[in-house]
Amino acid sequence: MATHVEQEAAPRIPLSRRRVFQAAVKLADAHGIEALTMRRLAEELGAEAMSLYHHVANKGDLLDGLVDLVMAEIDERVERTAVPGDRALDWRIH
């Protein structure tokens, strides 16, 4: 007699604005910014394209958020590697 083992589905990670932007950066890094579409991004996230619109208004909003996320990551890395008092690393004073 064969036994049937039910596989439990992995818990679905809910979408968030940050998660959408992180996936967008990953997709753009891997395939280029021109490959970034709402449909393809939704596929990467295991969601429907329309569900992205609960987190971003449109593709322009998505691109703005993507830029903000990348800039924040750059700022964080600069701050972590900066030598205290080294004004040469502070781009705002040049």
Structure tokens at 46: 């295991």
What is the topology classification, in CATH, of domain 17-82? Answer: Arc Repressor Mutant, subunit A (1.10.10)
43-64: average pLDDT: 96
CA 66 to chain CA mean position, Å: 7
Which one, of 49, 53, 32, lies nearest residue 40 by Cα?
Answer: 49
Q: Looking at the chain, list the stretches that DSSP marks H as alpha helix, in order from N- to C-terminal side.
A: 17-31, 38-45, 49-52, 59-81
Asked if residue 84 has pLDDT above 80, the reply is: no
Which pLDDT score is estimated for 83? 73
More confident residue, 15 or 3: 15
Q: What kind and span of H or E run contains 81?
A: helix 59-81
Q: Are 49 and 42 in contact (CB under 8 A)?
A: yes
Which pLDDT score is estimated for 5? 56
